[in-house]
Amino acid sequence: MGGPAAKEYPVQYFCASALAATGCYPLWRSAAIGQSGFRVAAMHIGGVTIPPTLTPYVYGFLPPYKGMVATVAGMTYARAAIFYFSDVGRQLLLDKGYSEATATVAPPLVMSTIVQLVNQPIVRATVTLQDPAYNLPNVVQSLKHLYRNHGVQGLWHGTTAGVLKTVPKYCTAIAVKDAMEARLPHPDPSSQSYESERLLRSAVKSITAGIAGAALTNPLDVIRNEQFKTHQGLVATTTSLWREMGLGFMTRGLGKNMIAVALPVGCTIFFTDAFIQYSQHYDH
């Protein structure tokens, strides 16, 4: 993933992003519920009562999957655009003589900001849709509900926190990915297990990049999702969380977020590498 060949594989980037977004949707749903503090009713499955700490996880995996199409579509184009144009932009800037640091940080900084601004109404609507307190059937009705109650500006409520958490997440993940790509030893092409060793190398790179991006931005995820629930501003929301939970608010939903963010980001990187590797193998 990355390098001069990146621009030749836009379809692979898109397919990898779509596969990761689809497979990880239930995890995103669980994280959205947990970080937002939505109240989920006690659940009983087969006569067994689900512990309250596990209820958001279970609820996230059970139908109806409200907003799934919009969520997956938004995540697909967002991650594909960020990773593809970051890799292509990095090589372009390097070719023009810019420093390694500038070439690594500038493209994901610009792309993730643009994507967050464009995606914000859908993000807001899909997160709101997961609140059991609202009886909203789909994303369209969720958007109408937000517009009726909060106006046009309500659709972009939480944008600041969204940008503050999305941009560092992808800048960090891509910087770690590029650093590991440059430093991890390459397998020997003459080895009989060359292809599997390439995939193992990609897995190490992908997991590390995903975890690094997710761990740093959990507090901003909590703030953004709390804004969606309370409709308060950034400062008021942060102050309220601090008064209610102290430093504990920074780790609310951390376990869910580490899975729901680190896994799809890591999977996107890994699947992209795998699809490009597969294409290169059959091209030759």
Residue 121 has a pLDDT of 95
Tell me the mean pLDDT in the region 225-236.
84
pLDDT per position as a tens digit, 6-39? 789 999 999 999 999 999 998 888 878 877 778 8
N-term to C-term CA, the chain: 18
Query: Quick count: other Cβ atoms within 10 Å of Cβ 220?
Result: 22
Please check the confidence at residue 91 and state whether its pLDDT lies above 70.
yes
Give the residue from 213, 205, 225, 175 showing the smallest Cα distance to 271: 205
Q: Which residue has the tokens 């909060």?
A: 150
Do 263 and 26 contact (CB within 8 A), yes or no? no
Q: 134 has which bridge partners?
A: none
Q: 44 has which bridge partners?
A: 49
Give the residue from 215, 264, 220, 216 showing the smallest Cα distance to 83: 264
Do 2 and 228 contact (CB within 8 A), yes or no? no
Measured CA to CA, the distance from residue 86 to residue 5 in angstroms comes to: 13
Q: Report the percent of the chain where pLDDT is more than 90.
A: 57
Q: Which residue has the tokens 């992908």?
A: 206
Please check the confidence at residue 3 and state whether its pLDDT lies above 60.
no
Structure tokens at 214: 């997710």
Give the residue from 249, 179, 168 showing the smallest Cα distance to 213: 168
Please check the confidence at residue 283 and state whether its pLDDT lies above 80.
no
**Angle formed by the axes of helices 254-283 and 218-230, nearest 10°:** 120
Task: Tell me which of 18 and 279 has the higher pLDDT.
Answer: 18
Do 221 and 256 contact (CB within 8 A), yes or no? no
Q: Report the percent of the chain where pLDDT is more than 70.
A: 97
Task: Tell me which of 260 and 85 has the higher pLDDT.
Answer: 85
Residue 252 has a pLDDT of 83
Signed CA dihedral, 145, 36, 215, 153: sign only = positive
Tell me the mean pLDDT in the region 121-135.
88
Residue 152 has a pLDDT of 93
Whole-model pTM: value is 0.83
Alpha helix (H) ranges present in the chain?
10-23, 25-36, 55-61, 68-95, 100-129, 139-155, 159-183, 194-215, 218-230, 234-245, 254-283
Do 91 and 4 contact (CB within 8 A), yes or no? yes
pLDDT per position as a tens digit, 45-63? 878 888 887 887 788 888 8
| Three-state secondary structure call for residue 48 | strand
Measured CA to CA, the distance from residue 90 to residue 85 in angstroms comes to: 8
Distance of CA 96 to the CA centre of its chain: 30
Q: Residue 218: pLDDT band by 50, 70, 90 thresholds? A: confident
Q: Does domain 6-283 have CATH number 3.40.50.920?
A: no
Assess whether the previous peptide bond of 64 is cis (omega < 30° from 0).
yes
